[in-house]
Structure 1
Amino acid sequence: MLKGVLLGFACYAAYAISDAFVKSLHGSLPAYEAVFFGAVLMLLAIPLIRQPGDRWIEVFRARRPSLWWIRAISGAICNVSAVVAFTHLPMAEAFALIFLLPIFVTVLSVIFLKEHVHWRRWSAVIAGFIGVLVVLRPGFRALGVGHLAAMTCGLSGAVSVVALRMAGAHEKRISLYGAGVIGPLVVGLVFMLPGFVWPSAHQWFLLSGYGLLAGAGGVLLMLATQNAPANRVAPTQYSQMLWAIGFGYWLFGDHLDWPMLIGIVLILGSGLFTLVREDKVTPWVRRTKLV
């Protein structure tokens, strides 16, 4: 259990550093181009994920093809919108809005999976959306494409998670990972061609860090879930906020005001509560600890 949780922290550290690499591009390359080259490098992780008996064609094929396509398309939208969000917003603010994902998962699970959600999780959903209003403060500060992109990333990521649940536990890892890579690769390639810009040496370095660390994060997440239940690994995702605040302050000169910090706490608290409660059937006072 402890090994799985520690691997989860390592996984999300890799993802956070990957995001810092793509933010360092400062929008100097089109988002589609960054997504394409990142996906190409993420293909290098497939041999590490491939298990004995897996066929290479299963990167592109799944037992339920419709859900593979949903994950591929939602993965492409999620990756592109994440790049746009990180290149337009402070890292902590982008992560706060992206972390609406578990809240969106709750809502979508009620609609598509017919899950029964108790009042505690609905309270967390409401608290999360209040946190969004506190972070955005519509009418009191300028909102831009980065805010829309971050929330789109959270929503499309939630669609991918729900599709993953619908696929069931019998879908092969190579197919699940393949959908999340092939979708961004194809969409990035198609949309980058009209305005293709050849990256400079420094941009190649940043793209390499972005793609390789994202692929490493995928492998670490697989190892983490092999050693610990997914509901124990999932909360480690919130460690990304610590990385985001640190990177934002030391590398990018980001500064957060008190209302934004309060909104971030509301969003993170509601999302973490949702993850903890999701698989619990015991009463409130008898909840077990995460680790």
Structure 2
Amino acid sequence: MSDKAASAAVERRRPLLGIAWMLVASLCFVGVNGGVKYLGTGLPAAQSSFIRFAFGAIFFLPMVPKIWAMQISARLWRMFGWRALLHVAAVVCWFHAMARVPVAEISAIGFLNPVMVMLVAGILLGDRLGLRQVMVVLAAMLGALLVLRPGFREISEGHLSQLAATTFFAMSYVIARRLALEVPAAVVVAVMSISVTFGLMPLAAAVWVPVSAEQLAVLAGVAALGTLAHYAMTKAFVAAPLTVTQPVNFLQIVWSAALGALAFGEAVDPWVLAGAAVIIGVLCLNTWIEARKEGRAKAEALAAAAAVES
């Protein structure tokens, strides 16, 4: 096989590789949901999240000398610092919500993450937000209203906490996408795990309560799954564009509803599924349009290159 043919074969496989990595990430995130839901309100959110990230940081301590030797620029360290602050806020809000809101509702609200990423990228990074993107945002917000149904039922502090977590996670992921283009995926995850652990430490110390061996074991498992999920997600970002990998995440609503019903006896709310379907539908439509635009752009570039060569 020629070098050109081998390169083309690799490029064809990259979308499938991105999908595979995102599938691993989404399955791990559902496992994380189950572990945190099992713990409930037995531990304060800041303490639970600190212990989870402390376990995760242990996995990456051997990488510290290698990361230090990389001589990462001050600009990138600032980006890592901002991501750590945002992730600290996100995980505390998420742990708080997870103990108080049904698993399927957590996942349904979490589907707003790609929309929030779109908004954050548009506002902070200057990415273009055209009419279609605005319509996607509005339709996704309609789906969120179906999930929450304000005025027809009480909106709890858990729901508000999950909305805040989704916003903070989106801001963190936008920075992670930029970082993944300049440093290896393992470094992005390692620095995040270690820096977030230090960021959570004073918050956890302020509310610390005794921890049982069972709680430690569950949080260790959550840490392992969460670390693998973030690594797989970062690898997916590098392997393929979000338009390819993001739809895989939408399977989480199925797994989350099943987990809530089978493991925690939570009723499957049709309004939650309907709201999630609206959000998923508009995001899939946007993904399909973006993929078609990208395909046309590549075809035009190839046609132009062929015309020049001839």
Q: Give the TM-score taking structure 1 as reference length.
A: 0.85
Higher relative contact order (CA 8 A, sep 6+): 1
* Counterpart-to-counterpart distance in 2, 1:226 and 1:149: 30
Match of 2:55 in 1: 41
Q: Secondary structure at the match of 2:293?
A: coil
Match of 2:86 in 1: 74
- How many Å apart are 1:251 and its aligned residue? 0.5
Match of 2:182 in 1: 170
- How many Å apart are 1:232 and its aligned residue? 2.4
Letter in 2 for 1:38: R
Larger displacement relative to structure 2 (225-234 or 192-201): 225-234
Match of 1:249 in 2: 261
Match of 2:37 in 1: 23
1:134-165 CA-partner distances (Å, limit 9, x unpaired): 11111111111111111111111111123234
Letter in 2 for 1:24: Y
| CA separation of 1:54 and 1:72: change in aligned 2, threshold 3 A | same
Match of 1:212 in 2: 224
* Counterpart-to-counterpart distance in 2, 1:242 and 1:76: 28
- The answer on 1:191 being equivalent to 2:170 is no
Q: Secondary structure at the match of 1:187?
A: helix
* Counterpart-to-counterpart distance in 1, 2:71 and 2:119: 30
| CA separation of 1:220 and 1:172: change in aligned 2, threshold 3 A | closer
Q: Give the TM-score taking structure 2 as reference length.
A: 0.80
Gapped runs of 5+ residues in structure 2?
A: 1-12, 297-310
Match of 1:133 in 2: 145
RMSD of aligned alpha carbons? 3.0
Match of 1:288 in 2: none
- How many Å apart are 1:98 and its aligned residue? 1.7
Alpha-carbon contact 1:97-1:151 (below 8 Å) kept: yes
* Counterpart-to-counterpart distance in 1, 2:268 and 2:162: 17
Letter in 1 for 2:228: A
* Counterpart-to-counterpart distance in 1, 2:158 and 2:45: 12
| Count of equivalent residues | 283
Letter in 2 for 1:153: A
Gapped runs of 5+ residues in structure 1?
A: 285-291
Match of 2:105 in 1: 93
Larger displacement relative to structure 2 (19-28 or 110-119): 110-119
* Counterpart-to-counterpart distance in 2, 1:47 and 1:268: 38
Alpha-carbon contact 1:95-1:150 (below 8 Å) kept: no
- How many Å apart are 1:276 and its aligned residue? 4.8
| CA separation of 1:37 and 1:62: change in aligned 2, threshold 3 A | farther
- How many Å apart are 1:23 and its aligned residue? 0.8
* Counterpart-to-counterpart distance in 2, 1:60 and 1:193: 31
* Counterpart-to-counterpart distance in 2, 1:143 and 1:178: 36
Q: Pick the structure with greater CA Rg.
A: 2
Letter in 1 for 2:88: A
Letter in 2 for 1:77: A
Q: Secondary structure at the match of 1:55?
A: helix
Alpha-carbon contact 1:22-1:210 (below 8 Å) kept: yes
* Counterpart-to-counterpart distance in 1, 2:164 and 2:126: 23
> Percentage identity across aligned positions?
24
Q: Secondary structure at the match of 2:39?
A: coil
Letter in 1 for 2:23: F
Match of 1:237 in 2: 249
* Counterpart-to-counterpart distance in 1, 2:112 and 2:23: 19
Letter in 2 for 1:41: F
Which protein has the bigger helix share?
A: 2
- The answer on 1:268 being equivalent to 2:280 is yes
* Counterpart-to-counterpart distance in 2, 1:257 and 1:233: 27
- How many Å apart are 1:283 and its aligned residue? 8.5
Alpha-carbon contact 1:61-1:175 (below 8 Å) kept: no
1:198-242 CA-partner distances (Å, limit 9, x unpaired): 211221221111111111223333454565555423322222222
Out of 138, 152, 158, which is 2:164 matched to? 152
Larger displacement relative to structure 2 (123-132 or 179-188): 179-188
